[in-house]
Amino acid sequence: MEKKEIYSAKLKRLIDEYSKILIVFADNVGSNQLQQIRQGLRGDSVILMGKNTLMKRALKSYIQETGNDTIQPLIGLLQGNVGLIFTKGDLKEVREELGKYKVGAPARVNLVAPVDVIIPPGNTGLDPSQTSFFQILNIPTKINKGTVEIITPVEIIKKGDKVGSSEAALLSKLAIKPFSYGLIVTKVYEDGSVYDPEVLDLTEDDLAVRFASGLANVTSLALSISFPTLAAAPHMLINAYKNVLAVAVATDYTFPQAEEVKEYLKDPSKFAAAVAPVASSTGVLKKAAKSKMEKKERYSDKLKKLIDEYSKILVVLADNVGSNQLQQIRQGLRGDSVILMGKNTLMKRALKSYVQETGNETIRPLMDLLAGNVGLIFTKGDLKEVREELSKYRVGAPARVGLIAPVDVVIPPGNTGLDPSQTSFFQILNIPTKINKGTVEIITPVEIIKKGDKVGSSEAMLLAKLAVKPFSYGLVVEKVFEDGSVYDPQVLDLTEDDLAEKFASGLANVTALALSISFPTLAAAPHMFINGYKNVLAVAVATDYTFPQAEEVKEFLKDPSKFIAAVVPVASATGGDASGGAFKEEEKKEEDSESDEDNMLSLFDD
C-alpha cells in the first residue's frame, strides 16, 4: 500500500511540474533497453511506467483533489502496455531520441509483422545445398563462386501478416533481423489537448496547404452569403464585372472590354469554330451515357418481371466462381430456375423501385441480404433439389499464396511419390516423414492450414507438389426467400422426423407452462384431469367420503398383505429376493404416503 501511495504521489507531482506528456507503447521492450532510454532522456524528461489501473486511480484522485479536469482525457488513453513520458523539451526531438534506442529483433514464427520485409539482392554466403529455402519462397537465385546469390529484391512478408516457418528459417540463415522494437509514441497530451504524434511531423509547407484549404472554405462561405471578406473580394469584383458585361451585351451601353464579346455574338461562326471539337466529344459522351442508362433500365425490368413470376429466391455467394463455371450452372438449372447476377446497388435500386410501384412490402427483406459478392436464383422447383444441383458444379481449386482458407487442410499419411531430395519441404512444415522404397512417405496426418488462416508460400508449394487441390468453389446458398419469409438454408435439411421431434418438444413446453399456471389447454387437459382425480382420491382415503374407484385403494390400505402378494411376482421376475421385495414395498408405501399428503395439500391450493 505504501508503494502505491508513493507511486501516486510521484505521478501527481509530475503532472504539476510538466505540461507535456507523451503516451508510449512499450510492447517487447526489455528492462535493459528501458534503462538506456531513461539515461538518454535524463535532464528534461521523466519516464513513468506502471499498471494502467494504478495510473488511472492516481489521475482520478488528482482530479478530485485539485478540480483540474483538463487531465481527464489522459485516463482514456491508458490502454494496453503503455507508459508516460513527462517532458519540458521539444516534443519532436524527444520522439527522435526515442527512435535511437530501437533494438533489432528476429522474425519469429507466427509473429505479426509490424513492417514489410524485403530481402535485397546480393550474395548470401550460403552453399548451393540451401537453394530449397529460396525455391519455396519463389526467390530467384543463381550460383556465383560456390554460393547462392539473390538476383532481385523480393518482398517475403507483408505488414500485418503472420511470419511463416519457412520465412523465419530463411531470415535466420541470412542473419537478418527485420523488426525493431522500442517505445513508440501513440498520443501526445499538451496543456489539456490530445493529438496524434503525426502532428509533430507537420512542416511549414503542410501548414501552408492546410491554411490555403481553410481560406478556400471561408471564401466559398462568404460568396454564398454575399458577405465581403478580404479573401472573397476579388471573386466578388469578377462576378460584378460579369454582371456589367451581361448588361452591356443586352443593351447599347458599351465599354472596351465588351466590344470583343459583342463581336463574337455578331458573327457566331467564330465562336462555333472554337467550340466544335468540344461539342463533338460531348455528343459521344452523351450517347455512351444513354446506352449505359438503357442497360440499367433493361436489367431493372428483368428483375421486376422475375419477382412477379417466381415466389422462391435463393441468395447465393459467388466468391471465386468463374464465368465458365457460372455458365455450366445456368445450363444445369435451365427449365425451372433463373440465375441473375449484378451489382448490389443496381439490384437494390430495382427492388426499391418495385416496392414503390407495386406497394408490395414483402420483398423489402431481400434488400438487406444483398451484401458482398452475391447473386439471386429465382426458382419454381424444390429448393432442396436446386441446392443439391448447385453442389454438383463445385470446382476444385489449388491453395494460392495469401488466400484465406475456407476449410481446414489436413495432409493424410501415405506415400507422396516425391524423391528424398524434397524432404526439406516437409521439414519446414514439421511434417514427420520417412524414406520408403526411394520415395518420401508421410507417417501421420498433419493439419497444415486452419480455416480462416492465410495460405503461406511453403504450404502452397507443398500442396502443389502433392497435386492436392484442397479447396472447392461454387455458388453457396446464403439465405432463402420464400413468399416474404427469409430463413437459413439449413432449414431445407429438416426431415419429417426432425419436425415431429420439434413439435413434440414444443407441445411438452406448452403443456408444462399450462400446468404451472393452471391454465387449461387441449394439451394440458388430460394431465389436469388425472391430477384432479388424484386429489379427490387423496380426500377419499383421508376421510369417510368414498366412491367406487376409491374402494379398491382403501381395501389395499386396510390389508397391505394383498398389496405385497400382488408385488412379489414382479420382484421375483426382476431377480430380487423376498426380503428385498418387502423392503422395496416398504419404501413404495412411504413414498405413496408422502404423495397422498402432497395431493391433499394441492387440492386446496389457489
Per CATH, 2-102+183-195 and 395-473 having the same topology is answered no
Edge-first strand order for the sheet with 414-415 is 414-415, 439-442, 433-436
CA angle 84, 207, 95 (to 5 degrees): 25
Inform me whether the pLDDT recorded for 583 exceeds 50: no
| Better-scored residue on pLDDT, 188 or 430 | 188
Inform me whether the pLDDT recorded for 603 exceeds 70: no
Average pLDDT over residues 206-225: 86
- CA atoms of 384 and 405, how far apart (whole Å): 27
Among candidate residues 244, 220, 475, 458, the one with its CA nearest the CA of residue 341: 475
Neighbours of 357 (CB within 10 A): 9
CATH of 2-102+183-195, one of 3.20.20.70, 3.40.366.30, 3.30.70.1730, 3.30.465.10: 3.30.70.1730
pLDDT tens digits, one per residue of 398-436: 888 888 888 899 989 999 888 888 777 787 778 888 888
Burial of 413 (0-12, 13-18, 19+ CB in 10 A): middle
**Residue 606 binned pLDDT confidence (cut-offs 50, 70, 90):** very low
What local confidence, expressed as pLDDT, does residue 598 receive?
A: 47
- CA atoms of 489 and 510, how far apart (whole Å): 28
229 and 219 Cβ atoms separated by less than 8 Å? yes
CA 193 vs CA 15, 70, 142, 503: distances in Å: 14, 8, 57, 63
379 and 336 Cβ atoms separated by less than 8 Å? yes
Average pLDDT over residues 354-361: 90
What local confidence, expressed as pLDDT, does residue 14 receive?
A: 92
Domain at 103-181: CATH code: 3.90.105.20
What are the backbone dihedrals phi and psi of residue 180, each rounded to the nearest 5 degrees, phi first?
A: -140, 145
pLDDT tens digits, one per residue of 145-165: 888 899 888 888 898 888 888
What local confidence, expressed as pLDDT, does residue 457 receive?
A: 78
520 and 528 Cβ atoms separated by less than 8 Å? yes
What local confidence, expressed as pLDDT, does residue 464 receive?
A: 83
What local confidence, expressed as pLDDT, does residue 569 receive?
A: 59
Helix axes 578-603, 560-573, angle to 10 degrees: 120
Inform me whether the pLDDT recorded for 339 exceeds 90: yes
Among candidate residues 455, 487, 490, 482, the one with its CA nearest the CA of residue 471: 455
Longest dimension (CA), the chain: 137
Inform me whether the pLDDT recorded for 468 exceeds 70: yes
pLDDT averaged over the chain?
Answer: 83
CA angle 472, 477, 482 (to 5 degrees): 165
- Scored b (16 or more CB within 10 A) or e, 206-223 reads eeeeeeeeeeeeebeebb
Average pLDDT over residues 293-315: 91
55 and 32 Cβ atoms separated by less than 8 Å? no
Say how many CA atoms lie within 13 Å of 585 toward its Cβ: 22
Enumerate residues 6+ apart whose C-beta is below 8 A from 224.
none
What local confidence, expressed as pLDDT, does residue 85 receive?
A: 93
Q: Which amino acid belongs to residue 478?
A: E
What are the backbone dihedrals phi and psi of residue 393, each rounded to the nearest 5 degrees, phi first?
A: -105, 20
- CA atoms of 274 and 130, how far apart (whole Å): 70
User: Which class in CATH covers the domain with range 395-473?
Assistant: alpha beta
Inform me whether the pLDDT recorded for 248 exceeds 50: yes
Q: Where are the domains of the chain?
A: 2-102+183-195, 103-181, 395-473, 525-603
409-411 vs 45-48, strand pairing mode: unpaired
Q: Is 325 helix (H, G, I), strand (E, B) or coil?
A: helix
